[in-house]
Structure 1
Amino acid sequence: MVETKGARTRLRLAESMLELIQRHGYSGTGLNTVVEHSGAPKGSLYFHFPQGKEALGEKAVELAAARFGSLVADSAPASAAPADVLRHVIDELAKMLEGSDFQLGCPVSVVTLEMGAQSERLRDACADAFESWIEPVSELLVSHGRPRPDARALATAMVSMVEGAVIVSRAQRSTEPLRCAAQAIAVLLEPATEASA
């Protein structure tokens, strides 16, 4: 499929919003800064996002959700054990944190914390993003022998643990919290490994 110039501009604006949210938060990201950062024509923001900052923030959250979902999918070949998949995902997140000097965090958690009580639109976008991560992890666990209700609960706990570990890693400027999360997840997954052996 050939992307139009308009589609490329819309994506560029969303990518800039995403990166700026990661660095400065949602509230700390102004629309003029997004336009400048993206290099898009000034009039293009309201052309592509006529509902303004919330619509652009929603698109940035959707983009973040898709990228993390792709990371999980790319880490999960059919034969991979769930613990190995999550370990790979956590390794990639640790590289991202270190590569950004602990400046980039999860934009979905940032938007949730800042805007969850103020904007139903953004709260819903964040809830959908988290769900888009929980569901494939849950399905991975089911495919390795976990009963579906247990898999859902465990997937929710794992995504929550990783999200919290990213926040603590940024605060401590260390990937150690992420490494601890990986170890704890491996322990949580041990019964599934034994059950499917």
Structure 2
Amino acid sequence: MLETKSRIIETATVLFQQKGYKGVGLNELLRECSITKGSLYHHFPNGKEELLIACLHSLNESITSQIEDIFAQHTSALVAVTAMIDMLIAQYEETGAITGFTVSSMVSEMASLSDPVREACAQLYENLQVIYSQKLMAEGFTETAAQTTAVSLSAIIEGGMMLCLAQKSAEPLRIVANMITKMLRD
């Protein structure tokens, strides 16, 4: 039972990231997850939006864990951020997508329509900003400067990922990496 729910969340997460919430129809979701409508509503009684929130929570855990690992492996925020961006570039160049690391499409599509979805997305960004700011404070940034820089890093990296997808090129993330290097060295 838990295996089926996990499989639904995993499959739906990929679909939502690729096509957006509204771009994934119920029939496609059922077909791709190899489940019936009854099975979907058994696991997610409130339907597709409840599934989306479960997907966002799963992404939150996965992304936060991966970013924590990257930041734990590197002594400076600059090296950690560069390693993270290099990983995103490699994934984009290998697959033509950046799955598992961005929720921008879901935020822009659903944030004004659903507070629970908006809150799930906001939690991910907050988690990342805490990771960034803690590393920056360990390097001597004041708490205020670290938090401001962490928000900037989140916005710049997320924007770079979206531009990669829109332009079908990893170049925006390379530019972002150079800008972050300048930002953190100044």
Please confirm whether the aligned pair reaches a TM-score higher than 0.5, indicating the same fold. Answer: yes
Letter in 2 for 1:24: K
Change (3 A) 1:107 1:189: closer
Shift in Å at residue 100 of structure 1?
Answer: 2.4
1:132 aligned onto 2:127: yes
Contact 1:83 1:189 in 2 (8 A): yes
CA distance in 1, matches of 2:40, 2:102: 20
Q: How many pairs were matched up?
A: 186
Alpha-carbon offset, residue 45 of structure 1: 1.2
Q: How far 1:43 sits from its partner (Å)?
A: 2.6
Separation in 2, partners of 1:106, 1:68: 6
Q: How does 1:36-55 map to 2 (within 5 A)?
A: 36-40=31-35, 42-55=37-50
Q: CA deviation at 1:32?
A: 2.6
Q: Is the 8 A contact 1:105 1:166 kept in 2?
A: no
Residues 160-190 of structure 1 show CA distances to partners (whole Å, capped at 9, x for unaligned) of 1000001111111111110111111111111
The superposition leaves residues 69-91 of structure 1 with CA deviations (integer Å, 9 ceiling, x where unpaired) of 12211212265211110011111
User: Which runs of 5 or more residues in structure 2 are unaligned?
Assistant: none
Q: 1:166 and 2:161 equivalent?
A: yes
- Percent identity over paired residues: 31
State the alpha-carbon separation in 2 of the partners of residues 75 and 122 from structure 1: 27
Gaps spanning 5+ residues in structure 1: where? Answer: 1-5, 192-197
Structure 1 residue ranges (4+ consecutive) displaced by more than 4 angstroms after TM superposition: 103-107
Pair 1:117-2:103 in alignment:
no
Per the alignment, in what secondary structure is the counterpart of residue 127 of structure 2? helix
Partner residue, 1:22: 17
**2: CA distance, partners of 1:161 / 1:154:** 10
Task: Output the CA distance in 1 between the equivalents of 2:73 and 2:159.
Answer: 28
1: CA distance between counterparts of 2:49 and 2:65? 24
Greater shift, 70-79 or 120-129, is seen at 70-79
Contact residue 98 and residue 161 of structure 2 kept, 8 A: no
Kept in 1: contact 2:30–2:40 (CA 8 A): yes
1:21-100 alignment runs, 5 A limit: 21-40=16-35, 42-77=37-72, 80-100=75-95
CA RMSD of aligned residues (A): 1.8
